């Protein structure tokens, strides 16, 4: 079953502040879900690039590659920025990183450390910070901290689903 293309997705703004605890837990839980998902897969499955798309290991690396963007955007929202930093829509960092040459453990550990920093900032937020908004450059709409966290959680799940699909077709 084919999934949706990430850049075709729409993200209606205005996630309610009351949804923040659940969304934050999705964000917090991704490293554990990721590690559980890839545990025990052979190096052949992890490095397989179906139809020259990213391998599972490249998807893992990509999640880590984007952590600085999420942290930057969170900082911008907290600082009162008008517009959030743009993403590299070509994903050059992931394409150039050679994630298939790294160990899976190194990639998942780096992701876990980076995500822990992001979540630590979320854990320290005051309730009034959740409504701060700035314009998302690609979506051209306002994004609050709750919206950002929802976006991150959806991005995580998008890549976890891609990994599962690759494993099903190659395993």
Structural contact between residues 147 and 20, judged by C-beta atoms closer than 8 angstroms: no
Rounded to whole angstroms, the Cα distance separating 86 from 77 reads 13
Q: What would the DSSP string read from start to end of 1-41?
A: -----GGG----S---GGGHHHHHHHHHHHHHHHHHHHTT-
Q: What is the pTM of this model?
A: 0.95
- The predicted-structure confidence for 29-68, as pLDDT tens digits, reads as follows 999 999 999 999 999 999 999 888 999 999 999 999 999 9
Q: What is the pLDDT of residue 2?
A: 59
Domains and CATH numbers, the chain: 18-170 (1.20.120.450)
Q: What is the pLDDT of residue 77?
A: 98
């Amino acid at each position: 079953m084919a999934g949706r293309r990430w850049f075709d997705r729409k993200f209606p703004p205005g996630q309610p502040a009351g949804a923040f605890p659940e969304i934050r837990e999705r964000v917090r839980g991704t490293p554990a879900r990721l590690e559980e998902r890839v545990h025990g897969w052979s190096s052949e499955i992890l490095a397989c690039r179906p139809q020259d798309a990213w391998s599972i290991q490249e998807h893992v690396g990509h999640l880590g590659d984007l952590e600085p963007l999420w942290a930057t955007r969170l900082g911008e929202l907290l600082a009162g920025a008008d517009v959030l930093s743009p993403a590299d829509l070509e994903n050059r960092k992931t394409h150039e990183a050679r994630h298939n040459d790294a160990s899976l453990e190194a990639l998942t550990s780096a992701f876990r450390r980076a995500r822990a920093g992001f979540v630590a900032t979320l854990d320290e937020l005051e309730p009034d910070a959740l409504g701060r908004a700035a314009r998302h450059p690609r979506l051209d709409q306002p994004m609050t901290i709750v919206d950002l966290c929802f976006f991150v959680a959806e991005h995580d799940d998008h890549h976890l689903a891609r990994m599962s699909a690759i494993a099903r077709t190659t395993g």
